[in-house]
């Protein structure tokens, strides 16, 4: 039997004790569900205590308020009743689906001439990922992921669908994407005959995007395994699309390389405006398929769309009409692209500042950054102290909120820091590490001193 998370066991105990009949009525999934700790709990704590800097959340802010596009804001008050109140079609408003396809093609020229479905509207990227899981993942299926990953994949694929997680180290010794590790784990997983995987670049939590040679090696490994007779389902999570801050990175979604790449590869692009258009609360996303097999891919896409439609109808029924109307209007609006460039530039300036500050030699004994070049975040490896204890110390002593992703690493969302705050934040981090090292040393020194006396 699959082990149940200790948090689910705690909840089950409460229900079993208070309401045994209700407990008996729960489904197997109902018994396995829990509300994850980790980032969500740490963000909630930071909301209360991080009076100085809150670098925990996957949003972008400016002077303490959410960053937004004026093209969206200006329409919020001016939607017509028919753009606001009626149901939207189950798979989304057609105009928006077409506009999003244009956007995908414009930002990913490599998709030209490739066969892809029309994007279906989802209720955010999380929903798109859960559609992928429902459609392609059975209990016991293998899900290949890097060790550093967005934690919610566990809930979506493992808890809800029973996937078995197989992981590979994210970086190689040179600090690049671990192509060899990926290839080795993929080969091992492929013995099952079917592999599901998720590729997410710019990456949460590290903020890393591969270089072109790494991107093509990922594609080559996938096609090689497909060629050996294994079916692969590859989800491309493009939550942070477009936020690339170095010029020599692979400039498109990996979907451009994976679309049409082999008849045994089903590539699924999960994307949306959540981060791309700074609309975290709109709850909009898209799911798009690419599969190269048989004569009539349009018939396959149409069948897949109907299945996705059935799933949406049987879960959330449809996505929000006002959000879809607003996004359509914004995309067509004259200032839209310029405003996106403005926000991008703001984040890029913060990235440059983080890069400048974090590379200072004096920090090296306290922490070192993992390679990062894109997105909202960077991760630090802290030296000589436990990352979770450091997180609590930062919160309690300095009002600074960051996320501890495990015992050694911190994730910092510089998307939520003003450029002028960045240097101060790293100084505080350094000071906090040194203080903890000092206080950890003290009892040891005192014991030694007593032993000498």
Of 312 and 436, which has the nearer Cβ to ligand PLP? 312
Which residue of 141, 237, 260, 276 would you call a contact of ligand PLP, by CB under 6 A?
A: 237
Contacts of 200 (CB under 8 A, 6+ apart): 149, 150, 236, 237, 238, 239
DSSP string, 339-389: HHHHHHHHHHHHHHHHHHHHT-GGGTTTEEEPP--BSSEEEEEESSS-HHH
Residue 434, Cβ neighbours under 10 Å: how many?
14
Q: Identify which range of 118-126, 134-142, 180-188, 244-252 contacts ligand PLP by CB under 6 A.
A: 118-126
DSSP string, 24-57: HHS-HHHHH-----THHHHHHHHHHH-SSEE--S
Contacts of 96 (CB under 8 A, 6+ apart): 121, 324, 327, 328, 331
Choose among 448, 404, 401: nearest CA to 425.
Answer: 401
Of 225 and 327, which has the nearer Cβ to ligand PLP? 327
What are the angstrom distances between the C-alpha of 262 and each of 112, 226, 232, 287, 404? 17, 7, 10, 20, 39
Rounded-to-integer distance, Cα 39 and Cα 391, Å = 12
Check residue 252 for interaction with ligand PLP (CB under 6 A): no
Nearest-approach distance from CB 204 to ligand PLP, in angstroms: 4
Tokens of 401: 């909120």
Nearest-approach distance from CB 289 to ligand PLP, in angstroms: 18
Q: Indicate the DSSP class of residue 240.
A: T
Rounded-to-integer distance, Cα 415 and Cα 332, Å = 26
Of 12 and 58, which has the nearer Cβ to ligand PLP? 58
Nearest-approach distance from CB 81 to ligand PLP, in angstroms: 27
Of 60 and 428, which has the nearer Cβ to ligand PLP? 60
Q: Give residues 27-86 in contact with ligand PLP (rule: CB under 6 A).
A: 58
Check residue 208 for interaction with ligand PLP (CB under 6 A): no
Check residue 204 for interaction with ligand PLP (CB under 6 A): yes
Nearest-approach distance from CB 170 to ligand PLP, in angstroms: 13
Say if CB 346 and CB 174 are below 8 A apart: no
Check residue 126 for interaction with ligand PLP (CB under 6 A): yes
What are the angstrom distances between the C-alpha of 166 and each of 34, 142, 163, 385? 22, 7, 9, 28
Of 92 and 285, which has the nearer Cβ to ligand PLP? 285
Check residue 125 for interaction with ligand PLP (CB under 6 A): yes
The number of residues that bind ligand PLP (CB under 6 A) is: 12
Of 185 and 204, which has the nearer Cβ to ligand PLP? 204
Which residue of 91, 108, 185, 200 would you call a contact of ligand PLP, by CB under 6 A?
A: 200
Of 128 and 385, which has the nearer Cβ to ligand PLP? 128
Q: Identify which range of 22-30, 42-50, 121-129, 242-250 contacts ligand PLP by CB under 6 A.
A: 121-129
Nearest-approach distance from CB 183 to ligand PLP, in angstroms: 22
Q: Give residues 259-298 in contact with ligand PLP (rule: CB under 6 A).
A: 272, 274, 285
Q: CA 297, 303, 308: angle at the middle one, nearest 5?
A: 120
Contacts with ligand PLP by CB under 6 A lie at: 58, 124-126, 150, 200, 204, 237, 239, 272, 274, 285
């Amino acid at each position: 039997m699959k082990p149940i998370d200790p948090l689910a066991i705690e909840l089950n105990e409460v229900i079993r004790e208070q309401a045994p009949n209700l407990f008996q009525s729960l489904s197997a999934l109902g018994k396995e569900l829990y509300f994850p700790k980790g980032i969500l709990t740490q963000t909630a704590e930071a909301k209360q205590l991080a009076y100085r800097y809150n670098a925990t959340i996957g949003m972008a802010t400016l002077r303490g308020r959410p960053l937004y596009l004026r093209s969206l804001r200006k329409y919020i008050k001016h939607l017509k009743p028919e753009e606001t109140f009626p149901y939207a079609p189950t798979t989304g408003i057609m105009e928006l689906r077409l506009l999003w396809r244009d956007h995908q093609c414009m930002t990913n020229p490599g998709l030209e001439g490739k066969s892809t479905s029309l994007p279906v509207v989802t209720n955010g990227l999380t929903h798109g990922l859960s559609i992928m899981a429902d459609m392609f993942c059975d209990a016991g299926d293998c899900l290949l992921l890097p060790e550093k990953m967005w934690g919610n994949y566990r809930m979506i694929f493992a808890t809800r669908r029973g996937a078995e997680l197989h992981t590979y180290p994210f970086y190689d010794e040179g600090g690049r994407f671990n192509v060899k590790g990926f290839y080795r784990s993929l080969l091992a997983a492929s013995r099952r005959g079917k592999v599901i995987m998720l590729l997410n670049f710019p990456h949460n939590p590290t903020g890393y995007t591969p270089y072109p040679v790494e991107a093509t090696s990922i594609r080559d490994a996938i096609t090689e395994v497909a060629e050996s007779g294994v079916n692969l389902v590859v989800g491309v999570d493009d939550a942070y699309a477009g936020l690339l801050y170095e010029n020599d990175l692979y400039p498109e979604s990996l979907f451009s390389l994976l679309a049409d790449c082999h008849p045994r590869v089903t590539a699924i692009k999960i994307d949306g405006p959540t981060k791309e258009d700074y609309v975290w609360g709109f709850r909009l996303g898209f799911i798009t398929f690419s599969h190269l097999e048989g004569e009539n891919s349009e018939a396959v896409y149409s069948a897949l769309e109907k299945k996705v439609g059935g799933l949406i109808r049987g879960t959330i029924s449809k996505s929000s009409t006002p959000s879809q109307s607003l996004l359509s209007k914004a995309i067509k609006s004259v200032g839209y692209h310029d405003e996106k460039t403005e926000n991008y530039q703001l984040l890029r300036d913060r990235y440059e500042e983080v890069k400048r500050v974090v590379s200072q030699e004096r920090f090296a004994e306290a922490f070192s950054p993992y390679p990062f070049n894109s997105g909202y975040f960077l991760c630090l490896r802290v030296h000589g102290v436990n990352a979770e204890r450091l997180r609590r110390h930062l919160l309690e002593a300095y009002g600074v909120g960051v996320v501890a992703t495990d015992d050694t690493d911190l994730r910092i969302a510089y998307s939520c820091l003003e450029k002028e705050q960045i240097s101060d934040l790293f100084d505080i981090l350094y000071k906090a590490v040194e203080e903890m090292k000092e206080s950890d040393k003290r009892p040891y020194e005192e014991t030694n001193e007593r032993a000498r006396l």
